[in-house]
Structures are given as structure tokens and as C-alpha cells.
């Protein structure tokens, strides 16, 4: 069972980013058994950001950070805000223990009003991850907000793109020992989880079912 954290940096709910993340998680769940942790920063911001430094945040905030630190794959989504990722997402990553994150695999995901800001994934999100040793998939998933309906329906292009991105993440995970990433497995190094408070966890049924709560 692969532990996957899906992190949504949008401050809003409902969120188009959340629909993108759900599609990607479902696509991944079709080819590998997942234990999925959904971290919606809009829902847990008051727990996570109750203090500027990690040593002072609430016990619930600490527990949520550990859910991400103990995940093997991170699917990280954000709306584009001011040509970058959101401040919520930045603060979340500032709080993570960088020694826990080395060698993890991340899938960068974003949506925005204009396709001109799609390259934010390349010149801002990738460096955010690599600064703490997280390895990213070469494929990313970017949507304009017009490709996602208010009800959460995705365009055909997006569904196909989510499949390809999910496949690459799974392949990277299965090849992690060849890539020298296995020694960084969270099971061998990370802080202990303290349960799922503030986070929704569920598992997929490999190989056929889509992931659903």
C-alpha cells in the first residue's frame, strides 16, 4: 500500500484545484493500491498556521504536517495566485521538516485563469520541491479554470493528461530503488504519524476501482 498525500493549496471551497487532484488520485488508484490522505489547506489553515513557527503550532497542526512527511508520494495542487502558488501552500512547505522530505516523489498540479501562467509549475513549484530534496515527475498537470466546470467536470484533454501524469508517478515509485530514492523511504526515517486528525484517509482497491471516499 503506497501512502499518498494529496495537498490542496487553495484557500477556497469548492475548489477547481480539488477536482484536478481527485482525478489524478483516481487515475493513480487504478494502477496501484493507495492509502490516500487528503489535506485541504482551506479546512486546516487555522490548525496549521496557529503560530509562525512549527515548535509553537497546535497538536492538530503538527499531526497534519506529519501526514505529509510520512507520505511516499505527494500530489500537490494550487490555484495560480499573483503568478505563483498560494501563500497557504508556501507556509505549509516552510513548516515541513526538510530532513523528512528527501527522496519523496511529488506531482505538481495547478490551475489558473490564463494559460500564460502555466509555466509557474516549472519555474516556481519545481524549485520549491527540489529545495527540500523532493523529486518531481517530469510531467505536470496544468488546467485553465475554463477547462473545469463548476460541478467539477474536466475536459477530455485534462482527463487524458491526468492519466499520463499518474502513470509517470507510479512508474517513478516502482523504480525508486533504481533511482536511489528507496533509502529515503519515510518508513525508515520520518517522524511517527499521530493519526489522521484533520486529514481524510482512505484506501483504493487495486487494480480496478477508482479512489473514492
Ligand X SMILES: Cc1cc2nc3c(=O)[nH]c(=O)nc-3n(C[C@H](O)[C@H](O)[C@H](O)COP(=O)(O)O)c2cc1C
- Among 61, 63, 56, which residue's Cα sits nearest to residue 46? 61
Q: How far is the CB of 14 from ligand X (least distance, A)?
A: 7
**Which among 15, 167, 141 has a CA at the least distance from the CA of 39?**
15
Give the range of 73-81, 122-130, 161-169, 183-191 binding ligand X by CB under 6 A: 73-81
122 sits near ligand X (criterion: CB under 6 A): no
Residue 16 or 66 having the CB closest to ligand X: 16
Q: Does 163 bind ligand X (CB under 6 A)?
A: no
Quick note: the x/- pattern for ligand X over 10-49, rule CB under 6 A, is x-x--xxx--------------------------------
* H/E stretch holding 96: none
Point out which span in 23-31, 111-119, 129-137, 197-205 binds ligand X (CB under 6 A): 111-119
Select from 79, 108, 186, 198 the one that contacts ligand X (CB under 6 A).
79
CB of 152 to ligand X, least distance (A): 10
Rounded to a whole number, what is the largest CA-CA distance in the chain? 45
Output the CA–CA distances (angstroms, integers) from residue 156 to 42, 99, 143, in the order listed. 28, 39, 12
Of all residues in this chain, which one has the CB nearest to ligand X in the complex?
112
Write the CA distances from 154 to 14, 18, 150, 177, integer angstroms: 15, 11, 10, 34
Q: Which of 58, 91, 139, 145 binds ligand X (CB under 6 A)?
A: 145
Closer to ligand X at the Cβ: 15 or 31? 15
Choose among 163, 143, 166: nearest CA to 155. 143
Judge if the upstream peptide bond of residue 14 is cis by omega within 30 degrees of 0. Answer: yes
Q: Residues in the site for ligand X, rule: CB under 6 A? A: 10, 12, 15-17, 79-83, 111-114, 117, 145
Amino acid at each position: 500500500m503506497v501512502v499518498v498525500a494529496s495537498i490542496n493549496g487553495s484557500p477556497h471551497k469548492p475548489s477547481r484545484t480539488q477536482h484536478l487532484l481527485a482525478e489524478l488520485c483516481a487515475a493513480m488508484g487504478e494502477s496501484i493500491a493507495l492509502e490516500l490522505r487528503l489535506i485541504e489547506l482551506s479546512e486546516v489553515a487555522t490548525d496549521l498556521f496557529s503560530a509562525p513557527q512549527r515548535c509553537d503550532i497546535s497538536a492538530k497542526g503538527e499531526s497534519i504536517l506529519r501526514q505529509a512527511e510520512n507520505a511516499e508520494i505527494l500530489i500537490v495542487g494550487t490555484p495560480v495566485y499573483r503568478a505563483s502558488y498560494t501563500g497557504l501552500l508556501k507556509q505549509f512547505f516552510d513548516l515541513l521538516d526538510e530532513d523528512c522530505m528527501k527522496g519523496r516523489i511529488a506531482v505538481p498540479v495547478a490551475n489558473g485563469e490564463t494559460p500564460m501562467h502555466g509555466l509557474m509549475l516549472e519555474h516556481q513549484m519545481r524549485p520549491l520541491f527540489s529545495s527540500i530534496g523532493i523529486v518531481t515527475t517530469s510531467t505536470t498537470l496544468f488546467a485553465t479554470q475554463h477547462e473545469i466546470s463548476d460541478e467539477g467536470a474536466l475536459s477530455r484533454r485534462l482527463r487524458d493528461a491526468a492519466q499520463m501524469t499518474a502513470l509517470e508517478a507510479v512508474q517513478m515509485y516502482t523504480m525508486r530503488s533504481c533511482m536511489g530514492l528507496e533509502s529515503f523511504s519515510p518508513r525508515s526515517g520520518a517522524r511517527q504519524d499521530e493519526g489522521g486528525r484533520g486529514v481524510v484517509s482512505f484506501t483504493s482497491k487495486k487494480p480496478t476501482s477508482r479512489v473514492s471516499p
